[in-house]
Structure 1
Amino acid sequence: MKKYELTNDTITANGKTLHRIKALKTFSNVEEGELGGYVEREDNLGQSGDAWVYGDAKVYGDALVCGDAWVYGNARVYGNARVYGNA
């Protein structure tokens, strides 16, 4: 089962359309229905583990957040960046 979905709430960052994410189940400290930050596509945030993008944080391009990593605040993860493990 997926842990999040892309919503229709979008913004533009560096010419890319990013979608706000919404939790489909409760995990770690994220509650089902909670809105997260923004990703360009599902490939930017792993569906397994406790990884999450919070608030106004943005992940796009070929970047990936996975494992148990959290990205939050005004962070931007892009290009070929990888944030993983317990980061």
Structure 2
Amino acid sequence: MPEKQKKYEITDICHPKYPWLRRVRALVRINEQVEAGTLGGFVESEANLSQDGGCWIYDQAICCGDAVVEKEAGMFDGTLARDSALITGDACLFDRAAAEGQCCIRSGEIKDRARVAGDAVISESILDGLSPLIAGDSHVYGEVRGRFVVKDLVLPGEKLVNPTADLFILENRERHVLVKTRELKPPKDYPQGRKKKKDLER
């Protein structure tokens, strides 16, 4: 049985500050942004970036230690994943965001200087698939699931779950909600051509 075509190789291009890390290069077209020959970010070993799916490490991003980027996830800019962090699903890291410890980021965006660490879990809502945005100088150690904007501290053991389409905002120790406007709609069995009753004469 022929060996499966690898999607990337690890080059001899070392990181200027951390010489044990080396750039990856795409061997095939991986997704709409990454054609064959595209240079990516830095890894410590092939275990850091899955050879399957459309996942990729872009720009100057680093994935090292036992951290893994897999499925359709992406690391951009100067982001960092280390220790045993798992970046999976459609999760994306931007700017100077970091994933550390045993955290699992399954969906959503982590950006700015946000840090997800410890046993944190970032995930989409089971009901509607909406995902969190972790931004600013956040430090997240707990669970955040669903439609949130977090610019705050989430302590270990804290479980923030949003089963609604409303947007919950946590910022500077304050909590707000943006309620999604919903129109009243007739039931499915309501006759479409039904006319409104005329106002009764007085």
- Structure-2-length-normalised TM-score: 0.41
1:7-86 pair list within 5 angstroms: 7-11=11-15, 12-13=17-18, 17-29=20-32, 30-86=34-90
> Deviation at 1:27?
2.0
> Deviation at 1:28?
1.1
Provide the aligned C-alpha RMSD in A. Answer: 1.0
Moved over 2 A (4+): none
Unaligned runs of 5+ in 1: none
C-alpha offsets along residues 41-80 of structure 1, whole Å, 9 cap, x if unaligned?
0000000000000000000000000000000110000001
- Residue type of the partner of 2:22? H
Relative contact order, CA 8 A, sep 6+: which one is greater?
1
C-alpha offsets along residues 3-53 of structure 1, whole Å, 9 cap, x if unaligned?
00000001243xx71110000001212100000000000000000000000
Q: Which has the larger radius of gyration?
A: 2
Alpha-carbon distance between aligned partners in 1 of 2:43 and 2:85, rounded to the nearest angstrom: 13
Structure with more strand by fraction:
1
Alpha-carbon distance between aligned partners in 2 of 1:52 and 1:70, rounded to the nearest angstrom: 5
Aligned residues: 85
Aligned to 1:3: 7
